[in-house]
Amino acid sequence: MTAQELSWLALWGATALYAIAMVASAVHLARVADARVAAKKQADGAVTSEGDSATASAGSTSTVTSTGTVTVNDRARGIARATTLIGAILQGVGVVARGIESGHVPWSTMYEYTITGTWVAVVVFLIVQRKRDVSYLAPGVTGFATIALGLGLTVLYAQSTGLQPALQSFWLVIHVSIAIIATGIFTVGAVATVLQLFRDYRDSDTQWLQRWKWLEATPPADKLEALAFRLHAVGFVLWTFTVMAGAVWAEHAWGRYWGWDPKEVWSFVIWVIYAAYLHARTTQGWAGRRSAYLALIGFVALIMNFTVVNLVFQGLHSYAGV
């Protein structure tokens, strides 16, 4: 089996596993939501003693403590965690095999950036999962990874080629790797922000969200906002380094630090949006929906920088769209 074949099979395998993980984690969250709704109804009628347990649904059990904490153990949760972990391992194999096939670090094209960036997003989720229970993020993260990998393998795929002269620099490893890590962190932060908005609107008795019972499986909006803020803060630091390293690389490659290239401009726009989000969130009291919308605008700008700027605009970074 060649490195190309190994990469292809591993990445398609990861895509399939992420799809399974997305469905399994969604089923698990639905059962958590059912258990929490049942616990609230039980609390309205009688005081729940610590250690009481009841069946949430077929094949799962829920435990309600005296503090109101509800835990659900079922096969769906185990399947979701196992498939996500194995999928991440397979995707890592696919990324490494692509690097071996191309003879350089695998992030010189949109396809390579996609397979590496989505892998980082899943790994970030798994790292956070080890420190705290963030299973409510699993459907969003694995769903995003499934779609992104699917598009990468079917639409963006390109045969591996040698590096263009401008990319034959150690700055490719430094600049692009940090950008990929920042993108992965921003992706997980965006998932948390979307859930924050949904939960906030639902808790505010917005009619069109009242039937979304699955949101009971997520923490309160302020908890989701705190998690998203921490992720965005880390991503912003890394993106700051990305912009600075890009300027230094531009001086080495083209003899100037800044040239108003579309990629440079959009990278700076992303930095400004996230800087405004962090500033407004910490000093201007923009907690809640306003800061959440600002964070999502930053993520949309990030996606546009990767898609529209690469595919539509012509500039010194046009090779990234190949």
pTM: predicted TM-score of the whole model, two decimal places: 0.86
In the 3-class helix/strand/coil scheme, how is 191-214 assigned residue by residue? HHHHHHHHHHHHHCCCHHHCCCHH
Q: Distances in Å between the alpha carbon of 199 and those of 70, 207, 240, 295, 296?
A: 18, 13, 31, 16, 15
Give the pLDDT band (50/70/90) at residue 62.
low
d(CA 11, CA 32): 31
Structural domain contains residue 296 = yes
Structural domain contains residue 55 = no
Rounded mean pLDDT of the chain?
84
Q: How many domains does the chain have?
A: 1
Structural domain contains residue 108 = no
Structural domain contains residue 1 = no
- The predicted structure's pLDDT at residue 288: 83
Give the pLDDT band (50/70/90) at residue 162.
confident
Structural domain contains residue 133 = no
Work out whether the CA dihedral 202, 121, 136, 130 comes out positive or negative: negative
The residue segments making up the domain with residue 321 are: 163-322
Q: Write the pLDDT tens digit of every residue in 234-285.
A: 999 999 999 999 888 888 877 788 878 888 899 999 999 999 999 988 887 7
